[in-house]
Structure 1
Amino acid sequence: MSLGDHLHKPVKTVAGLELHYVHDIAIIVMDRGENRLNTQFLDGFNELMDDVESNPSCKGLITTGKGKFYSNGLDLDWLSNLSSPELLQEFFTKLPRWLLRILLFPLPTLAALNGHCFAGGALVAFAHDLRVQNKEKGWTCFNEVFISRQFQTWHYLYLKTKIGSGHNYTDAIVMGKRFTGPEALDSGIVHAAPPMSLLLSESIQLLKSFFGKSGYPRDSLHLMKSDVYRDAVEQYHKDMAGVEASEIKFDANIKSSL
């Protein structure tokens, strides 16, 4: 994937994550291979989101990847080699907190899906307000059913607001359907499916079509998202109350199923 036509030198790079600006839109580029989720990834991403949120002139945030993957979900190899239950609990506390931050971020957000977007990576994409998917290559897929994993309850609630509760929902969540860009667009779960060469430019144009010249009042946007996703937010707090060290069994069987 080449972003050179749109992006030049990043203003900041942390752990293989780059922060760029195209006028008043921030773009976080994930350049970590499969962009799998681990603590280093989350800490770096949160640091860049802090920078975006502290920039008063920024009006929107786009996230995208380089190469074949937007994100291939949890870093299973890294998880299987953690040395203590405390580190495992730390990760499974930080991950949902980060997803919630994206869901309620006080700027409009767009996931520009350059390539494969699987499992936890799909949870990330659907925490964004908008999604644009490369029509030429890559699948979007909630493949948890194939790897014997379940979602947290609050995930189901916010996914229903993004996907709907009809056959798209059962196709995506129960059956683990792999959506190409054109299929995702036809199903209404992404907002556009341009060729890779236009992915970023169309993503910028789409995001700007919502906020216009002035942008959204940040407090108002955050409150609106909090209201719209109220059920998911309330369930998030219930789910997280159960994430305790005593409940995350640190043994070979659990680690092999992550």
Structure 2
Amino acid sequence: MSVKSSAHLNAPVRNVGTMTLYFVDDIAVIVMDNGENRLNDTFVIAFNELLDDVESNSCRGLITTSVGKFYCNGLDLAWMNEISKEQTRDFFLKFSKLIMRLLLFPVPSLAAVNGHAFAGGALLAITHDLQVQRRDTGWLCFNEVFINKQFIKFHYTLMRTKIGTGHSYTDAVILGKRYTGPEALINGLVHAAPSMPLLLSESIQLLKSFYGKSGYPRESLQLMKSDVYRDVINQYQQDLSEGHIINKGDIIAKKAKL
């Protein structure tokens, strides 16, 4: 499998549903291949299982990407229309936990955004340590304002930490700007915007440029992330204790069934 890139992915290590884990040298690569890669229980379970595999391996970095025109197109509202309120609540707890796991992951992570990343998909992308977005097509967009939805409180703290509090935050989060790869690069949302044939190879090169020959000590890296993202952690814990995450599930469940 090549993911239409000059860095070829051969000999998959493991498939979980529509996700596949590869290793390129000392970097783990998770490839999502389910069309729009909508966020649902199946997505979260598969993603977590492959993260378990990555953590148990001695690799030095993680890349996530997809095939086709989407990286991740946000919540699976059609699926949510079919499940119970309790199941929707459970999903939001699981997804929030996945976001925090990825934020504090003990190896450096990079989202290689191959196509559209909207709403929860854009949130997933910026949760990685590094972001690379293809330059020729696809948007990175927090489009909640256009679909009458809001993020959970700790998501806003996460986005402020990742994007900053200046005009880029206003444009991206409040006004829901759609960023092409070059626009995202200019505004500091991504680290590079290569053409699609070079997306994976440049992502690998970028990730390796940070960890060098020896990689990061995992415990040290995770402790550093915990310090830097302390405000996000605190807000996440507060949202859990005050029921905001479960309440978000109730709101989405109600709107999905309208």
8 A contact 2:92–2:249 mirrored in 1: no
8 A contact 2:138–2:180 mirrored in 1: yes
Which residue does 1:156 correspond to in 2? 156
8 A contact 2:7–2:200 mirrored in 1: no
**For 1:194 and 1:244, how far apart are their aligned partners in 2?**
36
3-state SS of paired residue (2:65): strand
- TM-score with structure 2 setting the length: 0.94
| Aligned CA-pair RMSD | 1.7
- TM-score with structure 1 setting the length: 0.94
Given the superposition, is the C-alpha separation of residues 190 and 25 from structure 1 closer, same or farther in structure 2, using an over 3 Å criterion? same
Given the superposition, is the C-alpha separation of residues 87 and 133 from structure 1 closer, same or farther in structure 2, using an over 3 Å criterion? same
Which residue does 2:20 correspond to in 1? 18
**For 1:245 and 1:228, how far apart are their aligned partners in 2?**
26
Which residue does 1:103 correspond to in 2? 103
Given the superposition, is the C-alpha separation of residues 70 and 244 from structure 1 closer, same or farther in structure 2, using an over 3 Å criterion? closer
CA offset at residue 15 of structure 1?
1.1
How many residues are paired up? 255
CA-to-aligned-CA distance 1:127-156 (integer Å, 9 cap, x gap): 000000000010000000011111111111
Given the superposition, is the C-alpha separation of residues 204 and 251 from structure 1 closer, same or farther in structure 2, using an over 3 Å criterion? closer
Map 1:174-213 onto structure 2 (within 5 A).
Answer: 174-213=174-213
State, as a whole percentage, how many aligned pairs show the same letter.
Answer: 60
CA offset at residue 188 of structure 1?
1.1
Which residue does 1:254 correspond to in 2? 255
CA-to-aligned-CA distance 1:101-122 (integer Å, 9 cap, x gap): 0100000000000000000000
8 A contact 1:85–1:250 mirrored in 2: no
Given the superposition, is the C-alpha separation of residues 16 and 4 from structure 1 closer, same or farther in structure 2, using an over 3 Å criterion? farther
Letter in 2 for 1:229: Y
**For 2:104 and 2:245, how far apart are their aligned partners in 1?**
24
CA offset at residue 252 of structure 1?
7.2
**For 1:246 and 1:240, how far apart are their aligned partners in 2?**
10
Structure 2: 5+ residue stretches without partners: none
3-state SS of paired residue (1:172): helix
- Find out whether 1:37 has 2:52 as its counterpart: no
**For 1:175 and 1:26, how far apart are their aligned partners in 2?**
35
8 A contact 2:5–2:201 mirrored in 1: no
8 A contact 2:93–2:246 mirrored in 1: no
Which residue does 2:237 correspond to in 1? 237
**For 2:75 and 2:98, how far apart are their aligned partners in 1?**
14
Structure 1: 5+ residue stretches without partners: none
Given the superposition, is the C-alpha separation of residues 252 and 58 from structure 1 closer, same or farther in structure 2, using an over 3 Å criterion? closer
Which residue does 1:7 correspond to in 2? 9
Letter in 2 for 1:66: V
Which residue does 1:141 correspond to in 2? 141
CA offset at residue 8 of structure 1?
1.4
3-state SS of paired residue (1:105): coil
